[in-house]
Structure 1
Amino acid sequence: MRIVVVGDVLLDADVEGAATRLSPDGPVPVVDAAETTYRAGGAGLVARMLARDGRDVLLVTALSDDDASSRLREALDGIRVVAGPSGAPTPVKTRIRAGGQSVVRVDEGCAPGPLPVPTPDMLEALGTADAIIVADYGRGLAAAPALRDALAPLVHRIPVVWDPHPAGPDPVDGVAAATPNLPEALRMAGLAKGGTGEAALAAAELRSRWNSHAVVVTLGAEGAMIQKEGDLPQAIPAPAMGAADTCGAGDRFAASLAVGLASGRSLTASVEDAVGQAAAFLAAGGVASLRRDAAPVQLRGPGVDAMRVAAQTREAGGTVVATGGCFDLLHAGHARTLAAARKLGDCLIVCLNSDASVRRLKGEERPIMNQEDRAELLLALECVDAVLVFDESTPETALERLRPDIWVKGGDYTADQLPEARLLQSWGGQTVTVPYYPARSTTGLAAALEKVG
């Protein structure tokens, strides 16, 4: 799955220090700067988040050639970038913090510049996407006619999430979701300042004006408000948490929403997940957490993390066992295979096909149960230690991340039907089969259930 992020990039500078006294020149704190770090902001931050999640991400943007641009390119290291000239200085936003709390922000090079002109390479890159995020930061790229013309047919084929800016243009007609925050939504809808009660009014006005499939107004600690055509507004609550610095929360939300929609999940389910991930991002420290090593990927299920389970098992000198499949309608054959696999090592991790993956493999009528329910049932089995959901049609990418010592499949498979066996060998792992139990299958069980109504 490739996510293409389109939009304006900024250079964010974080000056960290301590404030223990007031200036003699006036009642303002003196910050003793200890460290200055630079990171990509705007669309660059969205791309960095997705790359940190292990996603295949491509950033389409406009870059300057000044000194700040050099630092910005360094901050984008490791991310594939297709860029044209911006024709304007690189915007730099410097946040001065003391004790983790922002004291002041200084902006440079943020005056309006000429409209960027997308290059042919930039426009061609859009066609490689499975989903697109337009991260508009009001610098003009989202208003470029050639870019909008290239996006117009794509909204009918893939999910396009548009994160608008008050200084930017309206989204292209037909986007899957536009995601203004509440102050932006109120301003763009022409409403007076208000609280979450006005979010639904603003969302309805903007959805109609923009002709988008949905408008999702993010409400900070209150969650989000969804407005789809012909539906009542739907409130999605956020987990209770506090955060001193909410920088990056909207970018985290848009990134997670696009991944959910690209995976074939419903808008509501994708928004719920995005709200949760935005809250978790802030709870982990927000943008400051991006300077730390990426945490193991949090997986479906109540707090179970497959990567951490695997790491802890290895640290204890144990053997990591994995198996995979759709597990659509769990039956006795599944339970016996899983129990047998668990006996081969010290933990069992199930690589589970996502809903989108199952549909590609088995048709539009499958899965019978969604991936959240399938993961929950698997985790209820004593022999299953963790579940790793993957979007691809085959488990190779998931296995590359997990690197189990043993990969287990049912005995109805032959060696030539398991191309992942060679992958396991590349890190010294092995593939084994366990007994197959005929006459026990999801298809047979589904047919039997259909007969009894």
Structure 2
Amino acid sequence: MRPLVVVGDALLDVDVEGSATRLCPEAPVPVVDVDGEWVRPGGAGLAATLLANHAAAEVSFVTALGADDTGHRLAALLARDVEVLRLPLSGGTVRKTRVRASGQSVTRLDTGDGRAAHAPLPERVRRLLRDAGAVLVSDYGRGVAAHPEVRRLLAEAAQRVPVVWDPHPRGPAPVLGATLATPNERESRDLLPTAPADVADAAAAVRQHWRCRHAAITVGANGAVLSIEDGTTLSVPAPAGLAGQKLDTCGAGDRFATAALTALAEGAGPVDAVSSAVESASRFVAAGGAAALSVRDGTPECGAPDTPFAFADSVRRRGGRLVATGGCFDLLHAGHVSLLRHARSLGDALVVCLNSDDSVRRLKGPGRPVVTAPDRARLLAELSCVDDVVVFDESSPTAVLERLRPDVWVKGGDYAGTELPEAEVVRRHGGEVVLVPTVEGYSTTRLLRTVSR
């Protein structure tokens, strides 16, 4: 599959988390006792990260970043998941800081005035947009989507491959012939010259106003309203159970757009693509939203031994779909990463069951593992497609799976035709076993043989 490309404005999102039990004596405002600071890519950076976590293809990200501390921190976060192609930024990289107490936002502090400079594009960016299998434009009004040469290449791409355009009130209109525009209800009202009677009329008006093939207006917990190029308009409802709940919806629009792009790139029609996007965005919000992708002080935490099981319970309570996979993951390589990304694309959270050093020795022999369990766990946790890691001592992860109870258990396709000993446990708890294709040419044993020659 050809690479998927995200084009747009990256921000750094910061959540300062704490508790508030008293008011400031100088003013009637809460005093927040800070427990920690959590960071993640924001704006189009969040969209690129989500796409990399859920799509089987490689993901590249075209964005503008400054040379300041915020830009460097953001680039390091992004580089764990996507290839970043940097354009110059005039001004400071944007940082949005939410101060939250007991899960509720108290205030938000925005810094950075950066906008993409309209300098000539690097040849690598030109080639990437010409070779893309599909393109998501995630516009956050900071100038990348308005770059004249970028727009010309996007207009050409729209004639060949799916182009999904997630707009911003301060950004430009989509290029002519874009496959799908995905404004939310407020954005659709702001961009239309006259107010439509209802959301269905708004969706049709957006499609005609922007001359895109299809338009889907997202309406929060009610799903989306889709207008198709043949004039048909239909409502796509969200799964039941989210309305009325106090959920963090940050990033829901980005998850909607990335899921729609993935479906279109795989050949789905507009109705199936938007239906998939509504379901994916709903599950994303139920599983914690964008905050679930944050890392503390720049480092993912594996936590205490019981943490993965508590995490699994929290995913289930929020209605999320838990995926688990297992293995030695000794000398982490591209084949491992491909399997992990594919596994993460099957649900809302991924826990890796990791063989301990003693377990690896029993399975692989006295010379293994090459990398100790703490370091293997740390490397796995650095991948944002991995939400948590649990280490087990047995030769089979059966006992761990009794406690995790995943909805999906993933193994590589090389296990086809073999009845996995843990399959009975997974199915008894209502889960399914999925075999995903392996990447030929990659194995730790082969790497070790190559090194020893």
Asked if these proteins are the same fold (TM beyond 0.5), I'd say: yes
Aligned to 1:368: none
| Cα gap change, 1:44 to 1:190, in 2 (>3 Å) | same
Seen in structure 2, the aligned counterparts of structure 1 residues 132 and 232 have a Cα distance that, compared at 3 Å, is: same
The amino acid of 1:218's aligned partner reads: T
1:347 equivalent in alignment to 2:423:
yes
Indicate if the aligned counterparts of 1:38 and 1:71 stay in contact, CA closer than 8 A: no
Quote how far apart the aligned CAs of 1:348 are: 8.7
Instruction: Note if contact 2:222-2:238 (Cα within 8 Å) is conserved in structure 1.
Output: yes
Separation in 1 of the partners of 2:153 and 2:419? 54
State whether residues 83 and 122 of structure 1, in contact with CA within 8 Å, keep that contact through their aligned partners in structure 2.
Answer: no
CA offsets per residue over residues 350-406 of structure 1, 9 Å max, x none?
xxxxxxxxxxxxxxxxxxxxxxxxxxxxx9xxxx94345x6xxxx334xxxxxxxxx
Corresponding residue for residue 71 of structure 1 = 73
**Correspondence for 2:20:** 19
Structure 2: gaps (5+ residues): 301-310, 312-321, 324-342, 356-389, 402-408, 448-453
Separation of aligned partners in 2, 1:206 and 1:344: 51
- Identify the match of residue 62 of structure 2 among 50, 60, 63: 60
- Report how many aligned residue pairs link the two structures: 353
Greater relative contact order (CA < 8 Å, ≥ 6 in sequence): 2
Provide closer, same or farther for how the CA distance between residues 126 and 321 of structure 1 changes in structure 2, counting only shifts above 3 A. closer
The residue type equivalent to 1:347 in the other structure is: A
Q: Residues 317, 30 of structure 1: CA spacing in aligned structure 2 closer, same or farther, 3 A cutoff?
A: closer
| Further displaced range: 24-33 or 221-230 | 24-33
**Residues 1:211 and 2:211 are matched in the alignment:** yes
The 3 A distance-change label for structure 1 pair 46 and 347 is same
The 2-side partners of 1:266 and 1:164 are apart by 21
Q: 1:112 to 1:121 in 2, by over 3 A?
A: closer
Contact 1:225 1:236 in 2 (8 A): yes
Distance 1:144 1:346, change over 3 A: closer
2:15 is aligned with 1:31: no
| CA pair 95-342 structure 1, distance change in 2 beyond 3 A | same
Q: Is the 8 A contact 2:50 2:258 kept in 1?
A: yes
2:95 aligns with 92
Q: Given the superposition, is the C-alpha separation of residues 300 and 5 from structure 1 closer, same or farther in structure 2, using an over 3 Å criterion?
A: closer
Residue number in structure 1 paired with 2:144 = 141
Contact in 1 for aligned 2:174/2:181 (Cα 8 Å): yes
Structure 1 CA distance, aligned partners of 2:62 and 2:422?
A: 45
CA distance in structure 2 between the aligned counterparts of 1:67 and 1:133, rounded to whole angstroms: 27
Q: Give yes or no for the alignment of 1:249 onto 2:271.
A: no
Please give the alpha-carbon distance, in whole angstroms, between the structure 2 residues aligned to 1:165 and 1:116.
Answer: 22
Cα–Cα, structure 1 residues 41 and 323, in superposed 2: closer, same or farther, change >3 Å?
closer
Question: Are residues 1:314 and 2:396 paired?
Answer: yes
Return the alpha-carbon distance in structure 2 between the equivalents of residues 100 and 176 of structure 1: 37
Against the structure 1 CA distance between its residues 44 and 273, is the aligned structure 2 distance closer, same or farther, given a 3 Å change threshold?
Answer: same
Q: Aligned to 1:142, what secondary structure does the other structure show?
A: coil
Q: Alpha carbon RMSD of aligned pairs, Å?
A: 3.9
Contact 1:342 1:348 in 2 (8 A): no
Q: Return the offset for 1:300.
A: 7.3
Check conservation: 2:60, 2:83, Cα contact below 8 A: yes
Using a 3 Å threshold, how does the CA distance of structure 1 residues 229 and 20 change in structure 2: closer, same or farther? same
Matched, 1:175 2:178: yes
Following superposition, the deviation at residue 237 of structure 1 comes to 0.4
Unmatched 5+ stretches in structure 1: 326-337, 350-378, 398-418, 428-453
In the TM superposition, what whole-angstrom CA distance separates every residue of 1:225-272 from its partner, at most 9, and x where no partner exists? 110122321100002313432110000111111111111112111111
SS in 1 for 2:277: helix
The question of whether the paired residues in 1 share the 8 Å contact of 2:53 and 2:345 is answered with no
Structure 1 contact 19–29 (Cα < 8 Å) conserved: yes
Note if 1:235 corresponds to 2:235.
yes
Q: Deviations over 1:411-437 (max 9, x none)?
A: xxxxxxxx79x969869xxxxxxxxxx
Q: In structure 1, what is the equivalent of residue 265 of structure 2?
A: 262
Q: Which amino acid is 2:72 matched to? A: S
> TM-score by structure 1 length?
0.68
TM-score (norm 2): 0.68
Contact 2:43 2:140 in 1 (8 A): yes
Aligned to 2:377: none
> Following the alignment from structure 1 to structure 2, what is the Cα–Cα distance between the partners of residues 178 and 220?
16
Are residues 14 and 75 of structure 1, via their aligned partners in 2, closer, same or farther at CA, if it must alter by over 3 Å? same
Are the counterparts in 2 of residues 215 and 228 from structure 1 also a CA contact under 8 Å?
yes
Question: Which one-letter code corresponds to 2:24 in the other structure?
Answer: S
- Residues 88 and 116 in structure 2, CA contact (< 8 A), matched pair in contact too: no
Distance 1:344 1:43 in 2: 40
Say which SS state the counterpart of residue 208 (structure 1) adopts: helix
82 and 343 in structure 1: CA distance in 2 versus 1, 3 angstrom threshold: closer
Give the equivalent residue in structure 1 for 2:158: 155
Distance (Å, rounded) in 2 between the aligned partners of 1:233 and 1:199: 10
Where do 1:258-297 residues align within 5 Å?
Answer: 258-291=261-294, 296=323, 297=343
SS in 2 for 1:139: coil
The structure-2 alpha-carbon separation of the partners of 1:112 and 1:87, relative to structure 1 and needing over 3 Å to count, comes to closer
3-state SS of paired residue (2:109): strand
Using the aligned pairs only, state the percent identity. Answer: 40
Q: Residue 285 of structure 1: CA displacement?
A: 1.0
The letter for the 1-side match of 2:266 is S
1:293-334 Cα offsets, whole Å, 9 max, x none, are: 795247879x9x9989x9999312799997979xxxxxxxxx
Distance 1:116 1:96, change over 3 A: farther
Residue number in structure 1 paired with 2:370: none
Describe the superposition over 1:185-217 as per-residue Cα deviations: whole angstroms up to 9, x where unpaired. 11111344x8xx722122111111211110011
Q: Offset of 1:92 from its aligned partner?
A: 1.2
Aligned counterpart, 1:376: none
Mapped partners of 2:132, 2:6: distance in 1 = 9
Q: What residue identity is the alignment partner of 1:10? A: L
Shift of 1:39: 1.7
Q: For residues 94 and 411 of structure 2, what CA distance do their matches in structure 1 show?
A: 47
